[in-house]
């Protein structure tokens, strides 16, 4: 079996385990923080009322639901995510909002047998950086799109351009020997940091009219939410969940991480820059 056919086993284990549960717990905070990107992507990918849209790595469904409102009752949106906990939340949200034009599927978009040519557009809000074989994934996604369908997604730029997002790991590293971060280009948050790599992946998977634009968005988060966010998610969250980390080390790590974020906090609000690529292409 090829790597592409095997799919994203490590990511499936991650997002169906503690990381997926942590994202469910922090869903409201994350949706508020990422709301500007939800608007940006749904506007960029909007195919018109009645359109059919695929949302890749839909998470708890915010972007899919936003697009479902845009395309209206005659349209249809399908959100796909590898995480069962997140898809479960997304389905509950759609039911609560009484949206009939939306569907959520727990699946690996790299290997899922989409109906060929089903979608008028494809979008993703930070959901495409986790593929083991991104070229195979984008080939599979393109097959699900109609000819000339629009692709639009956002992906994080480099760690250097997003210092807020790496502050916790840099502060905690001396205290947590089990702290791990993905290698450059490996599946993970910054896998698409290199603009050239993004272009090469899309070109190799036969997307055309590729456009990669840098976008900077100001983010904010209440100070009381910040510590929970940085100690439950990402590499620090994963390291602190390790049973081998004693309580004294946990407490010291939390204290050090809290202090590291002081430069971002003013009047009870943390403010920071979120640097990403807005990528578009056509099938």
Give 185-213 pLDDT, tens digit per residue: 789 899 999 999 999 999 999 999 999 99
pLDDT at 82: 95
SS3 281: strand
| Residue 182: per-residue pLDDT | 67
Measured distance CA(164)–CA(226) in Å, rounded:
11
Question: 245 lies in a domain?
Answer: no
**Are the C-beta atoms of residues 160 and 91 closer than 8 Å to each other?**
no
Sign (positive or negative) of CA dihedral 18, 24, 25, 28:
positive
> Would you say residue 152 lies in a domain?
yes
Read off the CATH number of the domain in which 111 is found. 3.40.50.150
The reply to whether 169 falls in a domain is no
Q: Which residues of 53-86 are buried (b: 16+ CB within 10 A; e: fewer)?
A: bbbbbbbbbbbbbbbbebbeeebbbbbbbbbebb
Would you say 80 and 58 are in contact if contact means Cβ atoms under 8 Å apart?
yes
**Residues of the chain below pLDDT 50:** 1-6
Number of domains in the chain: 1
Residue 234 is encoded by which pair of tokens? Answer: 């990402």
Under a CB-based contact definition with an 8 Å cutoff, are residues 129 and 190 in contact?
A: yes
Write down the pLDDT at residue 162: 96
C-alpha distances in Å from residue 215, one per residue of 3, 64, 71, 78, 157: 33, 21, 25, 26, 9
236 within domain boundaries: no
- CB atoms under 10 Å from CB of 195, counted, come to 16
- The answer to the question of residue 80 being in a domain is yes
CA-CA distances (angstroms) from residue 196 to 30, 163, 209? 28, 21, 15
The answer to whether residue 269 sits within a structural domain is no
What is the average pLDDT score of the chain? 92
Nearest to 217 by CA among 165, 272, 264, 168: 272
**Residue 244 within a domain:** no
The answer to whether the pTM exceeds 0.75 is yes
Determine the structural domain holding residue 10 and report its residue range: 3-158+183-218+275-282
Q: Give the integer Cα–Cα distance in Å for 59 and 52.
A: 19
Report the 10 Å Cβ neighbour count for 185. 13
Per the domain annotation, does 130 fall within a domain? yes
Of 51, 49, 48, 42, nearest to 146 by C-alpha is 51
């Amino acid at each position: 079996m090829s790597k592409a056919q095997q799919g994203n086993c490590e990511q499936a284990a991650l997002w169906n385990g503690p990381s997926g549960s942590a994202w469910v717990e922090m869903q409201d905070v994350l949706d508020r923080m990422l709301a500007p990107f939800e608007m940006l992507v749904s506007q960029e990918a909007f195919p018109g009322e009645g359109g059919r849209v695929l949302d890749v790595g839909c998470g708890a469904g915010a972007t899919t639901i936003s697009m479902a409102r845009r395309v209206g009752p005659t349209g249809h949106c399908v959100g796909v995510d590898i995480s069962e906990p997140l898809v479960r939340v997304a389905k509950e949200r759609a039911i609560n909002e009484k949206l009939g034009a939306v569907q959520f599927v727990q699946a690996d978009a790299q290997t899922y047998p989409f109906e060929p040519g089903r979608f008028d557009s494809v979008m993703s809000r930070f959901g495409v950086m986790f593929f083991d074989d991104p070229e195979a994934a984008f080939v599979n996604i393109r097959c699900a799109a109609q000819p000339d369908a629009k692709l639009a997604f956002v992906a994080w730029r480099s760690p250097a351009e997003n210092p807020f997002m790496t502050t916790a790991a840099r502060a905690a590293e001396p205290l947590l020997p089990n702290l791990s971060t993905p290698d450059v280009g490996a599946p993970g948050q910054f896998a698409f940091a290199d603009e050239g790599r993004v272009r090469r992946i899309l070109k190799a998977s036969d997307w055309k009219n590729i456009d990669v634009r840098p976008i900077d968005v100001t983010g904010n988060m209440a100070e009381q939410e910040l510590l929970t966010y940085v100690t439950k998610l990402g590499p620090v969250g994963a390291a602190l969940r390790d049973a081998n980390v004693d309580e004294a080390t946990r407490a010291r790590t939390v204290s050090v991480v809290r202090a590291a974020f002081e430069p971002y906090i003013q009047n009870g609000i943390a403010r920071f820059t979120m640097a990403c690529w807005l990528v578009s292409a056509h099938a």
